[in-house]
A and B are shown apart, each in its own frame.
Chain A
Amino acid sequence: MSPGGAVVIRLYKVCKEFTAGRTAVSDVTLNIERGEFALLSGPSGAGKTTLLRILFGQEAASSGKAVVNGRNIHRMSGAHLAALRRELGLVFQDARLIERIPVIENIALAAEVCGIARSDARRRASELLELVGLEHAAGELPGSLSSGERQRVSLARAIANDPVLLLADEPTGSLDRATALEILHLLELVNEAGTTVVVASHDAGVTSLLGCRTMRMNEGRVVEEVRPEYAAALAAG
């Protein structure tokens, strides 16, 4: 049995208030099971990004309980947080690549920090570049890539260590529709390979096509949940 059992994310009455008094996340309770593909939707400022940041330990919840892959991440820091992050894959809207090193090194580095030998890490990075269709760009610097290509590199880096859970924050936010669909397709492939995927997106036009479990957020709360069977039916038309 894996550390988290059947449930990869367990949130119970999670709240996040910032010092200015603004409430970003309010009383969120939800479970996401292993192998699920889940979508957090809602307008900008709804609390999606903050919720994701709580899940990967970038923000600490003000109250409530957050368990990710069997670990209570409340006030987790240092080596424990790093160990958790090595089990996760993260994708951001702005790709967040290290600009001074080639594309292949950006991916290999994620594997290397997990203790994988450099040669194996580079081999793994090459395979992932092939998977995302960027094998030709291995030696290029991220600055020479388009937004869509950068996002694909970011995705390849996120799955370099075969993560249990992939968290993607607005992965299609800066992309045109066709490129956004490519990225969503890649995320579906990752999910089909067994990784739990949680995507936060405000782009209803694109994400409605996913046909996955969708949790709509507004003003820090989950205000509506659409189960996958309904979402799939909606997506089908």
Chain B
Amino acid sequence: MSWGTLAGQPISYYFRRAFDSIFATPVIAGVTITSIAVSVLLAGSVLLVGSNAYRLVASWGAEGVDLSMYLRAGVDDGRVVELKEQLAADPAVVNVYFISNDEAWMFLAQNLGDSAELLDGLDASILPASLEVTLARTLDADEIEAKLAEWHAWPEVDDLQYNREWTLRFRSALGIVRWVAWALGALALVASIIIVGATFQLAVFSRQEEMEIMRLVGASGMPYWGPVMLAGLIQGIVGSAAAVGLLFLIYRGTAGPLVGQLPMLKGTLAYLAGSQYMTLIIWGAVLGAAGSWLGMRRFGAWK
């Protein structure tokens, strides 16, 4: 193969014949492009909604897993600083700060509000000082339990508490979002293949006579099927580009009002990333080429 030729034919031959076939049957080309656009729009919607849902759920646990490390009475300030530094140096820890007995007393009083008089006659020393630790979100349940066991063994630590139930629920919610996204993605994939496969069968059927004539005059191999595949590829790119553009317009039209209705979404909604755009365009191109191939196989033109 020399530069500019492919299987003995100039590259221009493939493009000319591919574009000829697209423009010669504009209605069928339109239906084909639309079917790819619908398929990519479907896949893009799943991707957009899925990634935003995941981001939203993940943002609920953005601060990580919070736990309180209650210290035994009598731990001196110097040791507290050492413990705090030791925790801060742990890669599993995102944040750590100290709450003294007095601060804990003050928070309790504030939380009790009008009922603060219940504390009359009691001393701040009844509340333990604590180190408030935020663990990284990436830790799974086993890793959290391992950390708790490690720290619980420290002689200065009286007790460790964290909202285990919330953490498990949160992680379960993330898992569900991920699985739902995968399931919908797989559904979109199957639907895409069915829609596009059927459409391309129509397209190839409309060109069956022409392909038969091509074969009778001696066309074979890549010069024979290459233009058909290329036409599918071009239609795939056009269809997916249109779908990505349309998806962007839909996003622009709905994201603002949605944030207005649900302020919790502010700062978490985002359109697709550049790599996701490219994935969808490539997906459309692959669908187009695969559709052409399936169509040719269906009508026995792939030989």
Contacts and interface: CB of A to CB of B under 8 A. Distances in A.
B210 A82 contact: no
Contacts of A157: 217
A85 B24 contact: no
B219 A113 contact: yes
Interface stretch (A21-29, A39-47, A90-98, A212-220): A90-98
Interface in A57-105: 58, 77-79, 81-86, 88, 90, 96-98, 100-101
A110 B13 contact: no
Contact of A82 (B9, B20, B215): B215
B25 A79 contact: no
B30 interface: no
A78 B303 contact: yes
B213 A100 contact: no
Q: How large is the interface on A (under 10, 10 to 19, 20 to 34, 35 or more residues)?
A: 20 to 34
Nearest to A157: B217
B218 A83 contact: yes
B221 interface: yes
A127 B1 CA distance: 31
Contacts, number: 61
Q: How large is the interface on B (under 10, 10 to 19, 20 to 34, 35 or more residues)?
A: 20 to 34
A237 interface: no
B10 interface: yes
B126 interface: no
A100 B210 contact: yes
A197 interface: no
Contact of A78 (B10, B216, B220, B223): B220
B13 A82 contact: no
Contacts of B209: 96, 98
Given A86-B218, A96-B216, A113-B217, A77 B10 contact: no
Contact of B219 (A56, A78, A82, A117): A82
Nearest to A98: B210
A118 interface: yes
A114 B24 contact: no
A112 interface: yes
A82 B221 contact: yes
Contacts of A101: 20, 24
7 contacts: A82-B219, A82-B224, A85-B215, A96-B213, A100-B210, A112-B13, A118-B10
